[in-house]
């Protein structure tokens, strides 16, 4: 190998590799293995910003009326009938809304992707409207509708929070669910899967249920979890329409000076939401592992 003059005894190829690649490989590995100070600082500040308030809220949730610390506030979810009833009511609404929004959005996204791709911008614009319109404006309109609705509509829709709130929570969840499902559908070869299923004699319903849905199940679960989280946190519409859901009950506990109970119930809701997110992450990893195993 020839040595190029002026390169410190290095060959031309070695000199070019060192100049382009930077430091030698052992030095680069050592630098990659050692985290930089600014990264550690940002991570520490982010951890303090997110974990600090949670720890403070958890400590406050343990404070009982007697001034001592204990878990009596968390027991209110079982011993307090108002809290228990409102939580079950909100979970019913969340379950119904999540199922309805998937039944509506999944076939719509698949149909637009297969048959009418030009309608994609229109669908994105329509699903953005619930975010553009403030919830308080929607709540005021629903309250006016409730007051002036005919008796048959009041008896059919507004007599129970499940029938009254579920349709509007479906509308509020549409922007998040559409984007989650659309991302999942984009990640698969939809045309090939549908064409193969249809050529084998499957109906559209069977194709959607047994071919498309298993391939986008992570996105569907994400959309459902987002809907559940929204239903467990929405308070404006329910309070203006005078329905005692779980978030409304938390506000009532604050007004009744039961702050420790309110914070404890909020911590339970937050833990439940985190559990849903971890479940989604676990299912996504399992699906990725099965896909990799099949590919090998």
Q: Which domains does the chain have, with CATH numbers?
A: 76-295 (1.10.3720.10)
pLDDT of 275: 83
User: Rounded to whole angstroms, what are the CA distances from 249 to 149, 211, 284?
Assistant: 26, 42, 34
Q: Kindly state the tokens that stand for 221.
A: 């679960």
Strand partners, 69: 63
d(CA 161, CA 90): 9
DSSP code, position 63: B
Q: Which residues of 202-225 are buried (b: 16+ CB within 10 A; e: fewer)?
A: beeeebbeebbeebbebbbbbbbb
DSSP H helix total and E strand total for the chain: 16, 0
pLDDT of 161: 87
pLDDT of 92: 92
CA angle 46, 48, 52 (to 5 degrees): 135
Q: For helices 161-186 and 120-132, what crossing angle results, to 10°?
A: 140
Is 77 within 8 Å of 84 (Cβ atoms)? yes
Q: For helices 246-255 and 81-114, what crossing angle results, to 10°?
A: 140
Torsions phi, psi for 69 (to 5 deg): -105, 140
What's the pTM value of the predicted model, to 2 decimals? 0.74
User: Rounded to whole angstroms, what are the CA distances from 292 to 2, 141, 159, 216?
Assistant: 46, 50, 51, 16
d(CA 27, CA 161): 64
d(CA 123, CA 133): 16
Is 247 within 8 Å of 181 (Cβ atoms)? no
Q: What is the pLDDT along the chain (296 residues), one digit of tens a residue?
A: 444 454 454 555 554 445 545 545 554 454 555 667 888 888 888 888 888 888 888 888 887 777 778 888 888 778 788 888 888 999 999 999 999 999 999 999 999 999 888 888 888 888 888 888 887 788 888 888 888 888 888 888 888 888 889 998 999 999 989 999 999 999 888 899 999 998 988 888 999 989 999 889 888 988 888 898 888 888 888 888 888 888 888 888 877 777 788 888 888 888 887 887 777 777 666 665 565 455 44
Tallying the residues shown for the chain, one arrives at 296
User: Rounded to whole angstroms, what are the CA distances from 252 to 113, 142, 256, 273?
Assistant: 46, 22, 6, 22
DSSP code, position 155: I
pLDDT of 104: 92
CA nearest neighbour of 100 among 40, 50, 163, 170:
170
Element (H, E) at 256: none
């Amino acid at each position: 190998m020839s040595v190029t003059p002026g390169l410190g005894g290095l060959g031309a190829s070695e000199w070019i590799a060192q100049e382009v690649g930077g430091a030698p490989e052992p030095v680069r590995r050592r630098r990659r293995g050692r985290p930089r100070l600014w990264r550690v600082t940002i991570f520490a500040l982010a951890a303090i910003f997110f974990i600090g308030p949670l720890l403070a809220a958890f400590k406050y949730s343990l404070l009982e009326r007697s001034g001592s610390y204990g878990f009596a506030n968390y027991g209110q979810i079982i011993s307090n009938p108002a809290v228990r009833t409102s939580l079950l009511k909100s979970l019913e609404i969340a379950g119904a809304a999540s199922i309805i929004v998937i039944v509506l959005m999944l076939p719509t996204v698949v149909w637009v992707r297969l048959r009418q791709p030009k309608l994609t911008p229109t669908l994105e614009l329509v699903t953005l409207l619930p975010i553009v319109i403030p919830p308080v404006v929607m709540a005021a309109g629903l309250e006016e509708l409730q007051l002036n609705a005919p008796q048959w509509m009041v008896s059919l829709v507004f007599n129970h929070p499940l029938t009254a709130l579920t349709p509007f929570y479906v509308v509020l969840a549409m922007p998040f669910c559409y984007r989650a499902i659309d991302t999942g559908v984009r990640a698969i070869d939809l045309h090939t899967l549908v064409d193969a299923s249809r050529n084998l004699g499957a109906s559209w319903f069977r194709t959607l249920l047994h071919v498309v849905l298993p391939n986008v199940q992570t996105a569907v679960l994400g959309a459902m979890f987002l809907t559940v989280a929204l239903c467990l946190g929405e308070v404006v519409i329910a309070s203006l329409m005078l329905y005692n859901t779980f978030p409304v009950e938390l506000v009532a506990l604050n007004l009744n000076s039961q702050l420790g109970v309110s914070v404890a119930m909020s911590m339970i809701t937050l833990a439940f939401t985190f559990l849903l997110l971890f479940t989604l992450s676990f299912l996504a990893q399992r699906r990725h592992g099965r896909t990799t195993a099949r590919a090998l």
